[in-house]
Amino acid sequence: MKKQILLGGLVLMTLASAARATLVISYDSGTINQGIPDANPTGVALSQSYSGLFNGDGGAGISQVDVNLNITGGYNGDLYGYLVFQSTDGNTLTSILLNRVGRTDASGFGSSQSGFGSITLSSSGSWDNIHDVAGNPAGGTYLADGRTVSPNGDFNMASTSAGLSLLDTHNVNGTWTLFLADMSGGDVSTLVSWGLNVSVVPEPTTWALIGFVALLAGGKLVSLRRRTAA
């Protein structure tokens, strides 16, 4: 009876910790040195897909998305970029990562800085928005731009509702596509590398199953040790 009570208590502890547990699914392109065509709205697109994670049944909701970018050269105010997520549950979501950094109605060309170094664009935190960063962001974490206005539109009253947080709660399975374009001529930017960190929170039943299997494995190990000792 004591063993049964102990086992039940351990399972309950697993369930309790599951409610707070987070897993991070990461992708790193490595060095690709992909040129972004100058003054060409067609741009470049690169994709990463996930399938079968948590059985693809909605058992893991996204809690945070971070996009890592390493861009050199060019003219930062020319760049327009977004992340498209085509999920296996039938949704297509678009988050605006960069929208002519530094551009305002008074400054139509935006930031004249060259390159971003290695930065992270995040869906959460008290970070500065990348659009408003003065100088050259050679590293660090920023909120994704999120501005839904056209790259050649009116920036003064632009909504920032299309940040990375709009991806929250969705299933991680699907295709993630990074798009980058240079909207004005004169300088060429290079995407050195890019990556994704998608934080997900599996449902408690998923963690409970993992914990239960671990407990069974532990029980068999104890049993084997006792037999060996005998």
25, burial (CB in 10 Å: exposed 0-12, middle 13-18, buried 19+): middle
> Quick check: is 216 in a domain?
yes
Digitized pLDDT (tens) for each residue of the chain, 230 residues in all: 444 433 333 333 333 344 457 899 999 999 999 999 999 999 999 999 999 887 544 456 899 999 999 999 999 999 999 999 999 989 999 999 999 999 988 888 889 999 998 999 999 888 999 998 866 677 899 999 999 999 988 888 889 999 999 999 998 999 999 999 999 998 899 999 999 999 998 766 444 445 544 445 454 444 434 444 44
What is the pLDDT at residue 59? 57
Output the domain CATH number for residue 132.
Answer: 2.60.120.260
d(CA 31, CA 123): 24
Domain that holds residue 179: 21-229
> Quick check: is 151 in a domain?
yes
> Quick check: is 15 in a domain?
no
Query: Across-strand partners of 86?
Result: 92, 175
Give the full edge-to-edge strand order of the sheet including 92-99.
Answer: 40-50, 174-182, 79-87, 92-99
End-to-end CA distance of the chain: 23
What's the total number of domains in the chain?
A: 1
